[in-house]
């Protein structure tokens, strides 16, 4: 292989071995885009989804009690033991093989169908059939009548497992919602850092511009050295603030990149954020929360499961009474095929019977039922507590949302008004009717007003997300 081909092979190997490092995209982010990427690429969310999928097999495992079972056996036995009476032969051989099919029905009946063949041979001259084949087919059935009457406990147990699986799915969804809320909070932090950096850059450029403009005035003798020093100090302070804002932005950017499992080569751009929805009424928000909150719905499913478990434990207080029946048909011959052909209803054996069992004190079952009742009552308290928590969450979120809407409106007005103040102060300074200290202070105040408006906007966006979260609508909105 030539050196040129070796280089090509090496480059192709690197390309496929390190796709993550070579992948590069330009991704424009807003809150909706962040949510879409997080649901697909956030590793914690993907782990929760895997747990959710894994849990679905619990129901299949519970239903396995109704699986049909096939079992088979084979045994060969040879006996050359020394005997006290030799007329019965000195050697016997026995071959035993057969198969059983077992089935448990949803209505509590256990069924078994069997086939068995025993072959016996001996060197005794007194054996009539040698070899002897004994083929038997049989069927047995057993039915519970009191405890687990007609499969009651088994069916209810599967229903309880189903409710528990549904509860786990909902609890996992609540976990996903919480993880998604955390990612969106990190995104809003990045958005704030991005805008804050822009404001600091704008303030730095303006401070440098003022400093450069006043150098000429100093040379012309229009302003004093102290004025120029003030503009220079202001430019230095704004540069320090800008560098710190840059550090904050970088940290926020890497946090979100980690949350979304993005490549280091991906370029992220931020789109402007706008209000998502109109403010709902308290009754509407509470109704939505009670309908969609996954953690609340999970508790209700758990309560349903506990009610079912209590009914199972109460059923276990009954004594055990089982009825059973069996039927066997066989055929005997010196030929295996003839032995099978002789199997008919003439050579039959059948029987019926009952089994009754009751613990006289029955303390175990009574204790189990009492504990199940307490567990159910405890779960009722949990559901009630969650309802109170939801009412509290929704009320607080709505109040914050209303106040932050008013705060943003006031912050916007303050920024607009103070922008006019700064423009006027700058004109007065140009005319010699204002001091450098006043102009610098006015410039810094304007930057602070812009930041206050930015903070108000980010708090409002976070409140909108929080309101969706407490209503259980964050993932599907």
Q: Where are the beta strands (DSSP E) in 358-475?
A: none
Query: What's the pLDDT at 348?
Result: 86
Mean pLDDT split into 10-residue runs, the chain, 477 residues: 46 43 74 91 93 91 93 91 66 90 92 93 73 91 91 93 94 94 95 92 87 71 69 88 95 94 88 74 92 95 95 93 93 87 83 92 92 95 96 94 92 91 84 76 87 91 92 86
Query: What's the pLDDT at 2?
Result: 45
Among 296, 281, 264, 256, residue whose Cα is nearest residue 387: 296
Determine whether 326 is exposed, middle or buried from the number of CB atoms within 10 Å of its CB (0-12, 13-18, 19+): middle
CA-angle at 52, arms to 47 and 53, nearest 5°: 100
The radius of gyration computed from the CA coordinates of the chain, to the nearest angstrom, equals: 41
Among 93, 87, 78, residue whose Cα is nearest residue 125: 87
C-alpha span between 406 and 418 (Å, rounded): 18
How is residue 90 written in tokens?
Answer: 């000195």
Place of tokens 């509407």: 284
How is residue 384 written in tokens?
Answer: 């009630």
Query: What's the pLDDT at 12?
Result: 42
Among 13, 49, 39, 26, residue whose Cα is nearest residue 263: 26
Q: Is 354 left (phi over 0), alpha (psi -120 to 50) or beta?
A: beta
Q: Concatenate the DSSP letters of all residues of 21-68 into one string.
A: HH---EEEE-HHHHHHHHHHH-HHHHHHHHHHHHHTHHHHHHHGGG--
Among 38, 17, 20, residue whose Cα is nearest residue 264: 20
Place of tokens 């919480």: 178
Model confidence pTM above 0.85: no
CA distances from 477 to 104, 274, 452, 465 (A): 46, 15, 29, 10
């Amino acid at each position: 292989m030539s050196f040129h081909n070796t280089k090509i092979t090496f480059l192709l190997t690197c390309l496929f071995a390190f796709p993550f490092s070579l992948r590069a995209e330009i991704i424009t982010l807003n809150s909706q885009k962040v949510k879409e990427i997080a649901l697909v690429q956030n590793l914690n969310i993907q782990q929760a989804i895997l747990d959710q999928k894994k849990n679905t097999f619990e129901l299949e495992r519970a239903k396995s009690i109704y699986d049909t079972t096939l079992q088979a056996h084979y045994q060969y036995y040879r006996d050359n033991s020394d005997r006290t009476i030799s007329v019965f032969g000195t050697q016997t051989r026995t071959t035993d093989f057969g198969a059983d099919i077992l089935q448990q029905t949803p209505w509590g009946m256990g069924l078994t169908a069997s086939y068995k063949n025993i072959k016996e041979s001996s060197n005794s001259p007194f054996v009539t059939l040698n070899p002897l084949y004994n083929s038997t087919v049989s069927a047995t059935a057993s039915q519970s009548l009191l405890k687990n009457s007609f499969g009651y406990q088994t069916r209810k147990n599967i229903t309880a497992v189903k409710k528990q699986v549904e509860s786990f799915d909902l609890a996992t969804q609540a976990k996903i919602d919480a993880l998604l809320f955390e990612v969106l909070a990190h995104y809003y932090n990045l958005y704030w850092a991005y805008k804050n950096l822009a404001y600091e850059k704008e303030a730095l450029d303006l401070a440098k511009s003022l400093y450069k403009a006043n150098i000429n005035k100093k040379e012309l003798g229009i302003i004093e050295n102290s004025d120029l020093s003030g503009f220079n100090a202001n430019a230095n302070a704004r540069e320090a603030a800008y560098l710190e804002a840059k550090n904050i932005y970088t940290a926020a950017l890497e946090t979100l990149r980690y949350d979304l499992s993005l490549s280091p080569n991906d370029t992220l751009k931020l789109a402007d954020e706008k209000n998502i929805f109109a403010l709902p009424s308290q009754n509407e928000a509470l109704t939505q929360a009670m309908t969609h909150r996954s953690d609340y719905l999970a508790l209700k499913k758990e309560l349903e499961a506990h009610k079912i478990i209590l009914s199972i434990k109460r059923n276990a207080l009954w004594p055990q009474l089982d009825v059973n029946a069996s039927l066997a048909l066989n055929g005997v011959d010196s030929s295996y095929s003839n032995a099978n052909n002789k199997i008919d209803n003439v050579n039959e054996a059948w029987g019926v019977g009952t089994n009754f069992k009751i613990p006289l004190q029955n303390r175990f079952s009574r204790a189990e039922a009492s504990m199940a009742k307490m567990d159910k009552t405890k779960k009722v308290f949990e559901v009630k507590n969650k309802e109170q928590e939801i009412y509290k969450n929704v009320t607080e979120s709505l109040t914050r949302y209303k106040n932050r809407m008013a705060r943003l409106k006031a912050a916007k007005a303050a920024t607009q008004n103070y922008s006019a103040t700064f423009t006027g102060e700058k004109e007065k300074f140009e005319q010699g009717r204002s001091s450098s200290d006043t102009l610098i202070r006015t410039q810094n105040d304007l930057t602070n007003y812009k930041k206050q408006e930015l903070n108000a906007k980010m708090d409002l966006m976070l409140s909108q997300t929080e309101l969706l979260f407490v209503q259980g609508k964050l993932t599907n909105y």
